[in-house]
Amino acid sequence: MAGGSAIRGSRVGAGPMGEAERGEAAPRIYVSFWCSRGHESKPSFAADAAPPEEWDCPRCGLPAGPDQENPPAPPKIEPYKTHLAYVKERRSDKDGAAILDEALAKLRGQV
């Protein structure tokens, strides 16, 4: 007796992939988007849907817009801030010294 599958030459999901199997495709429109590096991408959208204002460029990842002459500006990249940098934004050196003195006094049992 030969081993193997009872249905030879077939795999999971195999079958006719025509329009009758999936249904009718929705009418599509293609919209051009340009990024600041001049890359053009043409994603398709359903004809009755409003295309978005911006689209991420698949080549470089920058935002792209429908106006070739006026593409969106690249986003500003904020440098990484440490926890200490955020604390220094909220408190002055005088406030920090007062909080430190209070904490040291608690540790020493003076309060």
Q: Is 48 inside any structural domain?
A: yes
The CATH number assigned to the domain holding 49 equals 2.20.28.270
State the Rg of the chain over Cα: 30
Burial (Cβ within 10 Å: 0-12, 13-18, ≥19) of residue 34:
buried
Q: Is 111 inside any structural domain?
A: yes
Question: For the chain, how many structural domains are there in total?
Answer: 2
Q: Is 38 inside any structural domain?
A: yes
Q: Is 14 inside any structural domain?
A: no
pLDDT by residue (tens digit) across 20-36?
Answer: 666 778 899 999 999 99
Q: Which of 14, 47, 52 is nearest to 33 (CA)?
A: 52
Query: How far apart, in whole angstroms, are the C-alpha atoms of residue 94 and residue 100?
Result: 10
Q: Is 61 inside any structural domain?
A: yes
Q: Is 101 inside any structural domain?
A: yes
pLDDT by residue (tens digit) across 24-72?
Answer: 788 999 999 999 999 999 999 999 999 999 999 999 999 999 999 999 9
Where in the sequence is the domain holding 30, given as residue range(s)? Answer: 25-65
Q: Is 94 inside any structural domain?
A: yes
